[in-house]
Amino acid sequence: MILVRHGQSHFNVHFAKTRIDPGIVDPRLTEEGERQARAAGESLANCGVRRIVASPYWRTLHTAEIIAEALGLPVSIDPRVRERYSFSCDVGSHRAELARRWPRFSFGDLPERWWPEDEESETALAERCRGFRDSHLAENAWDGLLVVSHWGFIRGLTGEAVGNGVALRFDPVGGAAAPAF
């Protein structure tokens, strides 16, 4: 399994400068974020990716779109790989709006309003990460899987904090994580 953190978003730029939540809901990628996504797509070309799963946030969907074009693969949406709900950027966009923007993506049974009402605890995040890992282990569905996700989910799953556009190879059996390229 390979995990990629979305490209740089407008929230990331402002928060990095001030460490104050700038109030940007479901932020878009910056030009740098688009560049990071293109670089990730190029670097993943020979990594054996056969399936792409993305979080339903705009920044991950746009990142997944760029990578999917480079790899010639479809994208399906899995809300289990979303960010830990803690900041304004973790308020999502409604399914109908996302489906209009990305009509070729598979949104499955994603509800119209899919993000949580309240801040998610670290314990709840850990349970969600464990559930995602365990379901892919049980189905033996992790080999060839690329997950386009977020800092909090990747940290919760692997223990590693990664920058925007960074990819990790993750072994869900042993729990080891290493740079993908």
Q: Is 6 a catalytic residue?
A: yes
Residue 29's domain spans which residues?
2-179
Cα separation, 67 vs 9, whole angstroms: 16
Among the listed residues 6, 62, 120, 150, the single catalytic one is 6
139: CATH: 3.40.50.1240
Among the listed residues 34, 62, 65, 83, the single catalytic one is 83
Q: DSSP label at 106?
A: B
Give CA torsion, residues 59, 64, 65, 66, to 10 deg: 100
Q: What is the model's pTM?
A: 0.96
Asked if residue 158 lies in contact with residue 168, where contact means CB atoms within 8 angstroms, the answer is yes
Structurally, how many domains does the chain consist of?
Answer: 1
pLDDT, tens digit, for every residue of 3-55? 999 999 999 999 999 999 999 999 999 999 999 999 999 999 999 999 999 99
Alpha helices in 19-150 (DSSP H): 31-43, 58-71, 95-101, 122-138
pLDDT, tens digit, for every residue of 92-142? 999 999 999 999 999 999 999 999 999 999 999 999 999 999 998 888 888
